[in-house]
Amino acid sequence: MDRIVVFAPHPDDEILCCGGTIIKKLKNGFDVSIVYMTDGSNALSNLGVYTDPSPTELKQIRRKEAIRGANLLGVKTENLYFLDNEDRKLHYNLYIVNNIHDILKNIEPQEIYLPSINDVSPDHKNTYLIVMESLRTIEHKSNIYLYVALPKYSHLDYINKWLFRIFEKRYVKNDISEFLSQKYFSLLQHKSQITVINSKQRRPVISQLTLKRLLNNTEYFLCLTD
């Protein structure tokens, strides 16, 4: 059976950026695993929320949300890897590199999905660096696909067209229209991110603009391999 590994810097990135692709691959007989690089515990601190829930409580909330969301995509709970690095403090180090190395060596995936180095989030950038370093010493070769959750520029359609012209043979546009409603229902499980759960919040963690951009009929990837 062909295998896929999706790396999510935070719980919900796998759905936002790869949800439709995950469903589509599962329908085509692939076995899918998801690796959550951080625990998502500090997602509310940027909005001024440090209690009710606390970071420790939010960590547990987000793990449960991730399991429910992934299960609704069709991913088995035993295929979920929670590395529990602290949210917003993911840094390149050999321990994490070796951990990822062992996971990939055990699974031997045909395809790997991970965030781009061009993403604005440090956790996303460091996920890219960690995974790419772990692949250097693995003999098994995988097709690597990059996604962008938070681009540096808001005009994503323009960027997509620009990238497509430059990387025409490597730029993948994946039609997920058939699975968009299932992707959306899976995302709804991440209530801590898409709704206001504390009176101090002025808005949800994930903005409506981000949701609008990522909840459409196409998921975009840049393939690094031939």
Instruction: Centre a 10 Å sphere on the Cβ of residue 46 and count the other Cβ atoms it contains.
Output: 9
- Per-residue pLDDT at 150: 67
Distance CA 85, CA 93 (A): 12
Tell which residue, 153, 156, 184, 198, has the closest CA to residue 61.
Answer: 198
Mean pLDDT across the stretch 173-189? 96
Percentage, residues of the chain above pLDDT 90? 73
Render pLDDT for 114-164 as a digit per residue (tens, 0 to 9): 998 888 889 999 999 999 999 998 988 899 999 987 665 444 444 554 554
Return the structure tokens found at 218.
């196409």
- Per-residue pLDDT at 168: 52
Distance CA 35, CA 61 (A): 17
- Per-residue pLDDT at 225: 79
* Sheet with 111-115: strands ordered across: 80-85, 31-38, 3-8, 111-115, 143-147, 218-223, 171-175
Mean pLDDT across the stretch 93-113? 96
CA 146 centroid distance within chain:
10
Q: CATH homologous superfamily of domain 3-223?
A: LmbE-like (3.40.50.10320)
- Per-residue pLDDT at 52: 94
